[in-house]
C-alpha cells in the first residue's frame, strides 16, 4: 500500500507539472518590458513568448502578433520551442505509460514485475520531460538576463523575467519530483521481491531434503 501511495503521489505531481508545462509553452509572458528607468512609458507593457509578442495598454486592451517567419527567429527561441514541444510529448507519453504500470490499475499485464518496469519507464519519461523544460526555461532566462545587464542595450529595450518562466520552473520541479517518486517506489519494490525470493530458496531446499530423507532410509533397509 505504501508503494501504491508513492506511485499515486508521483503520478499526480507529474500530472500537475505537465499541465504547468503546457501553460508555460502557450503563455506569451516569457519576458516583459522592464520599468527600470525614467524614460519608460508606463502606459504600455510589452510581452514576448515563444509564439507571439503582445502589447498591453493601460486601458486594458491587449494586442498580440504571432511570429510570422520561423527562420527569422533567434536560435534560442527556436531551440526553446523544440524543447518545450518535446517536453509536452514526453509528458503525455509518460502519463499513458504510468497508468499501465501502476499497481493500483488493472490495465495491461498483471505481472507485478512487468508492471513495475513499465512504471519505471513512465517515471523516466517524466524525468526527461522535466529536464527539457528546465533547460529551455533556464536558457531563455539566461538570455534575458544577459541582455538586461548588457551596457549596450538601451534602457527602453530591456526586459525582465516574465510569469511563464516562474511557471516553467515550478512545473519542471513537479515533473521531476513525480518521476523520481514513481521510479524509486518501483525500484524498492523490486529489491524487496528479490530479497524475499533469495530468502525463500534455502527453506524450500531444506523441505525437499527433509521429505526425501525417509525414503532414503527405507531404501537402506531394503
From the DSSP assignment, how many helices (H) and strands (E) are in the chain?
4, 5
Burial 89-126 (b: 16+ CB within 10 A, else e): ebbebbbebbbbbbbeeeeeeeeeeebbebbbbbbbbb
User: What pLDDT shows up at residue 208?
Assistant: 46
CATH numeric code, 2-30+74-199: 1.20.140.150
Q: Left (φ > 0), alpha (ψ -120 to 50) or beta: where does 108 sit?
A: left
pLDDT band at 95 (very low <50, low <70, confident <90, very high): very high
User: What pLDDT shows up at residue 187?
Assistant: 66
Which residues are bridge partners to 31 per DSSP?
Answer: 48, 161
Residue 190 clears pLDDT 60, i.e. is over it? no
Residue 125 clears pLDDT 50, i.e. is over it? yes
User: What pLDDT shows up at residue 141?
Assistant: 95
Distance in angstroms (rounded) separating the CA atoms of residues 14 and 129: 10
Mean pLDDT (the chain, rounded): 80
> Among the listed ranges 58-62, 78-82, 187-191, which one has the minimum average pLDDT value?
187-191
Residue 44 clears pLDDT 90, i.e. is over it? no
Cα 120-123-128 angle, rounded to 5 deg: 125
Residue 108 clears pLDDT 80, i.e. is over it? no
Give Cα 156 distance to the centre of its chain. Answer: 36
Residue 37 clears pLDDT 60, i.e. is over it? no
Distance in angstroms (rounded) separating the CA atoms of residues 34 and 195: 59
The residue ranking higher by pLDDT, 158 or 97, is 97
The three cell numbers of residue 214 are 525417509
Q: What percent of the chain has pLDDT over 70?
A: 77
pLDDT band at 60 (very low <50, low <70, confident <90, very high): confident
Q: What is the mean pLDDT of residues 51-56?
A: 88
The residue ranking higher by pLDDT, 111 or 190, is 111
Which element (helix H / strand E) includes 65?
strand 62-66
The three cell numbers of residue 7 are 506511485
User: What pLDDT shows up at residue 18?
Assistant: 96
φ, ψ of residue 53 in degrees (nearest 5): -125, 140
User: What pLDDT shows up at residue 222?
Assistant: 41
The residue ranking higher by pLDDT, 93 or 202, is 93
- Please give the C-alpha separations between residue 145 and each of 31, 32, 55, 140, 149, in angstroms, as whole numbers: 10, 12, 21, 9, 6
Domain spans of the chain, in order of start: 2-30+74-199
Q: What is the mean pLDDT of residues 20-30?
A: 94
Dihedral sign for Cα atoms in the order 87, 133, 5, 184: positive
User: What pLDDT shows up at residue 43?
Assistant: 64
pLDDT band at 58 (very low <50, low <70, confident <90, very high): confident
φ, ψ of residue 206 in degrees (nearest 5): -65, -40
Between 75-101 and 163-221, two packed helices, what is the crossing angle to 10 degrees?
40
Residue 106's contacts (CB-CB under 8 Å, 6 or more residues apart) are none
Amino acid at each position: 500500500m505504501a508503494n501504491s501511495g508513492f506511485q499515486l503521489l508521483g503520478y499526480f505531481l507529474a500530472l500537475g507539472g505537465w499541465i504547468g508545462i503546457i501553460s508555460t509553452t502557450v503563455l506569451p509572458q516569457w519576458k516583459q518590458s522592464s520599468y527600470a528607468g525614467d524614460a519608460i512609458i508606463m502606459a504600455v507593457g510589452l510581452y514576448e513568448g515563444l509564439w507571439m509578442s503582445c502589447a498591453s495598454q493601460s486601458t486594458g486592451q491587449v494586442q498580440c502578433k504571432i511570429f510570422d517567419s520561423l527562420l527569422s527567429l533567434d536560435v534560442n527561441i527556436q531551440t526553446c520551442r523544440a524543447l518545450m514541444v518535446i517536453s509536452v510529448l514526453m509528458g503525455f507519453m509518460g502519463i499513458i505509460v504510468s497508468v499501465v504500470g501502476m499497481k493500483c490499475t488493472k490495465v495491461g499485464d498483471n505481472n507485478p514485475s512487468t508492471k513495475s518496469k513499465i512504471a519505471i519507464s513512465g517515471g523516466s519519461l517524466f524525468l526527461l520531460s522535466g529536464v527539457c523544460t528546465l533547460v529551455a526555461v533556464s536558457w531563455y532566462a539566461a538570455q534575458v538576463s544577459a541582455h538586461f545587464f548588457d551596457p549596450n542595450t538601451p534602457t527602453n529595450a530591456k526586459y525582465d523575467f516574465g510569469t511563464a518562466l516562474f511557471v516553467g520552473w515550478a512545473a519542471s520541479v513537479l515533473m521531476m519530483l513525480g518521476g523520481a517518486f514513481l521510479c524509486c517506489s518501483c525500484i524498492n519494490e523490486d529489491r524487496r521481491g528479490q530479497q524475499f525470493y533469495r530468502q525463500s530458496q534455502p527453506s524450500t531446499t531444506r523441505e525437499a531434503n527433509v521429505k526425501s530423507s525417509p525414503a532414503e532410509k527405507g531404501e537402506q533397509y531394503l
